[in-house]
Amino acid sequence: MARFAVVVTVLALAAAFDGSAARAQALARLSVESFDLASDTQSPKADQPFHLIVTLRVRERVAQIENLNLPMLAQLELLGDERETTAGPRGTLYRETVTVVAHAPGTVAVAPATLQAIDARDNKPKQWFTNGVTLGVAGDTTRTLRAAGGAVLSAVLWLAGIAFVAALVALLVRRRGKRPPVIERPAASAPVETPQPVVARTHKQQALDALAVLRAERTRAAAVMVRAAIWRMVGASDGETLADVLRTRACADSVTRELVIALERSAFTYDADLPAAIEDACGSLERYAESAA
């Protein structure tokens, strides 16, 4: 199942990638400041809805965000999708909250969301990626307990209810003639649901996500997807080459340089060298995760 999901997400990414050139003419001109994917829980329970939140900040004031593609959610059922665009003097904050549910316990890898736009800083058409998210879905213990002790619980509740009514009747009979003072009770306020904070994924977590994806699917397509995600993580954007990425400040240390070079190899080497290249990339991801804060 996990293997199928990874393949589906990779195909979805590839499809989004191929279409980018054709849509380049209609792309919005944006200065992307941040583009993240988070979950309101890292360990959701089976059959209990949770939220995936895509947050995009751009410097421009725009009424709506277009060409933002959510990942294919093969292991999750989509229950709802809510979009909110807030434009202010410092730009626009776009937040898309996707309500999903997992029906089976296990590891769920959610691929990065993508955004295609013209980069306002250099007027080039680009594709941005969020981080990916890996979740551990736990079994729903409440449902099991409810099924097992449902009858007992029901009987206890009935008995308690009958006892409460009998006590109430006895109390009323004893105090007949005395009118109790009316006490106005304040109306109960509706419970306010505080929004869950967006969980920011650290570089270490993102590297571990990438490692999980690459270990689950040792294919060229998975390597290309992981490469794109790591490049996004180090601040490079789509359409740049290795030399561009190595010039970024994030690649000043040898561990990061080694990682992006290893991923480049796994994306472009010949088929016979691919297993060794992916193994090398996995090793580099491990070292990066160890060294990352």
Partner 1 sequence: MSAARPNDLAQALSRTIVGQDRVIEALLLALLANGHVLLEGPPGLAKTLACRALAAALDGEFKRIQFTPDLLPSDIVGTRIFDQRESAFATVLGPIFANVVLADEINRAPAKVQSALLEAMQERQVTIGPQSYALPDPFVVMATMNPLDSEGTYALPIAQMDRFLMKVNVGYPSREEELTILDRFAIADTQPARAVASLDDVRAWRAQAHDVHLDAKVKRYIVDLVTKTRAAGGVEVSAPSGDSLRVAELIDYGASPRATLALAFLSRGRALLAGRDFALPDDVRAIAPHALGHRVGFNYRLAAEGVLADAAIDAMIEAVPAP
Q: Between 152 and 272, whose beta carbon lies closer to partner 1?
A: 272
Q: Between 90 and 124, whose beta carbon lies closer to partner 1?
A: 124
Q: Do residues 138 and 45 make contact, with C-beta atoms less than 8 angstroms apart?
A: yes
Q: Between 180 and 270, whose beta carbon lies closer to partner 1?
A: 270
Query: Cα 11 to chain center, whole Å?
Result: 18
Q: Which residues contact 210 (CB under 8 A, 6 or more apart)?
A: 132, 226, 229, 230, 285
Tally of CB atoms within 10 A around 238: 19
* Shortest distance in whole angstroms from residue 43 CB to partner 1: 36
* Shortest distance in whole angstroms from residue 282 CB to partner 1: 19
* Shortest distance in whole angstroms from residue 22 CB to partner 1: 12
Taking the C-alpha atoms of residue 216 and residue 144, their distance in angstroms, rounded to an integer, is: 30
Q: Between 125 and 283, whose beta carbon lies closer to partner 1?
A: 125
**Interacting residue ranges for partner 1, rule: CB under 8 A:** 20-21, 24-25, 122-127, 224, 238-243, 264-265, 267-270, 273
Taking the C-alpha atoms of residue 236 and residue 246, their distance in angstroms, rounded to an integer, is: 9
- Residue 77 half-sphere exposure toward CB, CA atoms < 13 A: 9
3-class DSSP state for residue 190?
A: coil
* Shortest distance in whole angstroms from residue 271 CB to partner 1: 8
Q: Between 32 and 108, whose beta carbon lies closer to partner 1?
A: 32
Tokens of 132: 């990916």
Ordered DSSP codes for 197-212: PP-PPPHHHHHHHHHH
* Shortest distance in whole angstroms from residue 268 CB to partner 1: 5
Taking the C-alpha atoms of residue 17 and residue 20, their distance in angstroms, rounded to an integer, is: 5
* Shortest distance in whole angstroms from residue 241 CB to partner 1: 4
Q: What is the CA radius of gyration of the chain?
A: 26
Q: Between 59 and 220, whose beta carbon lies closer to partner 1?
A: 220
Q: Between 122 and 193, whose beta carbon lies closer to partner 1?
A: 122
* Shortest distance in whole angstroms from residue 124 CB to partner 1: 6
Phi, psi of 45 (to 5 degrees): -100, 150
